[in-house]
Structure 1
Amino acid sequence: MLVGYSSSSSEEDAEAGSEAERRKSLEDDFPAKKKPRTEEQVSKNRLPLPGCLLSMFPDEEEPETEDSSLHGGRIRSFKHERGNWATYVYLPYHPEEDFMELLGELLHAAETRGVVLTPQEEFHLSLSQTVVLKHHWIQPFTQSLRAALARCRRFLCLAGRLKVYCNAERTRTFLGMEMLTGHAQLLELVRVVDQTMTEFRLETFYEDPSFHVSLAWCVGDSSVQMEECLEQLQNLVDEHEDGPFQLKLECSELRCRTGNKTFRFPLEST
């Protein structure tokens, strides 16, 4: 079943933001050479700060580029502005060998049906939409999250049903694996995260979310083609050599990524 909205849109913004931050860091470390100035110019103008000092503060601003070719064709879901940091909250998934082998089979099977997918660089389950934080909001925002999550306990989720997702702008299509268990606990985490979002007047999560881990993606709206081969892909999951494959997500630590920074929030042991 096609889902017209998805927490997957947070991934493209965050990935694009992370790549832009890495380029910004390189630019700061190796600033472009400038033409030599005359003695008269030096006397009239204030001397610039050395590049080594500028690179000590790379997270005050973000680069202005919107070139989608620099992000594998991905397009931001919101306009980039200086000082704005793409931010989202998620549960990380650390893939096992069986998962990576299955993912390779899924990508190959999809390609034989004319759908070329790119695997995710990392895997996670989103618990918020991508929102925009000003730089000076980062510390109070993460402090609020830490306080709100202090009493939340860790748990285990299982996923095993493939589903097609498309972002709101129809610029990317995702193959995801939807959670089969842990829905109530995930909704509770979303409720806690939404409290902080509301405190900072930011957009809360979807009203009826489809909790999932995105496996791979392609540029554009390829939902129809992916739906046509979804049954074949699901058969690979159900007929796994060790029995029906289930993705096990150990929900022991929430993370918040804002720009090139990642904050960790361990959950209490049961």
Structure 2
Amino acid sequence: MSLVQYSDSDSDPEPQSNPSPPSSKKTHPNPTTPSLPPLPESFHDLYATATRVSVQDDPNLHDGRVRIIPHIEGNWPTHVYLQWYPCVEGQGLLYNTLVQCGIDISDRSENQVHSLLISDLGVKLPLHISLSRSVVVRTEQRFELTDALENAIKESGVLSFYIQPDRLYWSSNYEKTRWFLVLGVQKPKNDELNRLLKVTNDVLARFGQPPLYAAPLAQGQQSSSSPRGPDGSLVEDFSECFHISLAWSLSEPSAKDRERIDAINLGALREKRVGFDVVRVKIGNTRTYIPLNTRW
């Protein structure tokens, strides 16, 4: 892992030859002026994954998980997503939600439900909304795919936007080898999630990759007033599919587990606004950040 590099302009200024004498009058910082610049997008990725301790697929090293995409030379696991790094308040609301679900985030035994809020080292982890499946691209496709996504997202005209949590439920991966406790989200005002999904699906299709969702939930309910992509085609409505994963399990939840989750009142978490202004593309261990034109 490399350290963040800073330009020469960020170095300390040279001392003045005739410094002014210190003043005895106390000064106070302007409360409206931020004391530090915002962290770069790459900062939250520094500790987002554990250190690899083996080049072999060993489930014993990953809480029993089996890798769906095997390590093959020339293949690059790829994922397009939106990232949420919760603030202290948001993290507290999420912790309380897991407690209500009966999940002990400190229990790392194989048969338990595992939290996605913190790493094995106790470091807070970023959460995400997927805009693609975990797919595989070849070495020679990496830069072409990244460029295609950057151009398509820019041309889509999607601006930065907010979402709000909606409900809790259990959902499995495509292979049904893991089950996730997920936080569904309310449809954003200008349908940004569906529009970004269409852009991503369209680009990945050109590289022979499957879409994230195969068929719209609201099939047949589209109208002439439905959102359209840059090419004029209708944007399908997958609003009920978008979610944020909070925990995972190797065992399918029982009917009783599902009923308990359904009965949980999200309270203040449902009023939480989460903003997104960057689309992330992860190819192997390389991350590319595609900014959205901002509203704020």
Alignment TM-score > 0.5, same fold: yes
> Is 1:153 the counterpart of 2:159 in the alignment?
yes
Q: CA deviation at 1:85?
A: 1.3
What percentage of residue pairs aligned between the two structures are identical?
27
In 2, distance between residues paired with 1:231 and 1:90?
26
Distance 1:74 1:140, change over 3 A: same
> Is 1:98 the counterpart of 2:129 in the alignment?
no
- Counterpart for residue 289 of structure 2: 264
> Is 1:119 the counterpart of 2:115 in the alignment?
yes
Whether the 8 Å CA contact 2:164–2:270 is kept in 1: the answer is no
> Is 1:23 the counterpart of 2:52 in the alignment?
yes
1:255 is aligned, of 267, 276, 280, to: 280
Q: Which amino acid aligns with 1:118?
A: H
- Counterpart for residue 173 of structure 2: 167
In 1, distance between residues paired with 2:254 and 2:272?
23
The secondary structure found in structure 1 opposite 2:191 is helix
Q: Which amino acid aligns with 1:117?
A: V
- Counterpart for residue 227 of structure 1: 258
> Is 1:135 the counterpart of 2:139 in the alignment?
yes
> Is 1:218 the counterpart of 2:249 in the alignment?
yes
In 1, distance between residues paired with 2:68 and 2:134?
9
Q: CA deviation at 1:226?
A: 3.0
In 2, distance between residues paired with 1:166 and 1:249?
24
Structure 2 portions without partners, runs of 5+? 1-48, 105-110, 117-124, 217-237
Distance 1:72 1:116, change over 3 A: closer
- Counterpart for residue 148 of structure 2: 144
Greater strand percent: which structure?
Answer: 1
In 2, distance between residues paired with 1:83 and 1:23?
19
Question: What is the TM-score of this pair, normalised by structure 1?
Answer: 0.69
- Counterpart for residue 189 of structure 1: 196
Q: Which amino acid aligns with 1:227?
A: R
Moved more, 98-107 or 133-142: 98-107
Whether the 8 Å CA contact 1:87–1:259 is kept in 2: the answer is yes
In 2, distance between residues paired with 1:250 and 1:204?
24
Whether the 8 Å CA contact 2:69–2:77 is kept in 1: the answer is no
The number of residues matched between the two structures is: 207
Q: Which amino acid aligns with 2:210?
A: E
Question: What is the TM-score of this pair, normalised by structure 2?
Answer: 0.63
Structure 1 portions without partners, runs of 5+? 1-17, 28-62
Moved more, 221-230 or 121-130: 221-230
Q: CA deviation at 1:231?
A: 3.2
In 2, distance between residues paired with 1:85 and 1:224?
37
Deviations 1:89-136 (A, max 9, x none): 0011121222222222233333379x9432213200001111101122
Whether the 8 Å CA contact 1:170–1:220 is kept in 2: the answer is no
The secondary structure found in structure 1 opposite 2:76 is strand
In 1, distance between residues paired with 2:77 and 2:271?
31
Q: CA deviation at 1:67?
A: 1.0
Whether the 8 Å CA contact 1:167–1:173 is kept in 2: the answer is yes
Whether the 8 Å CA contact 1:164–1:226 is kept in 2: the answer is no
Distance 1:91 1:112, change over 3 A: closer
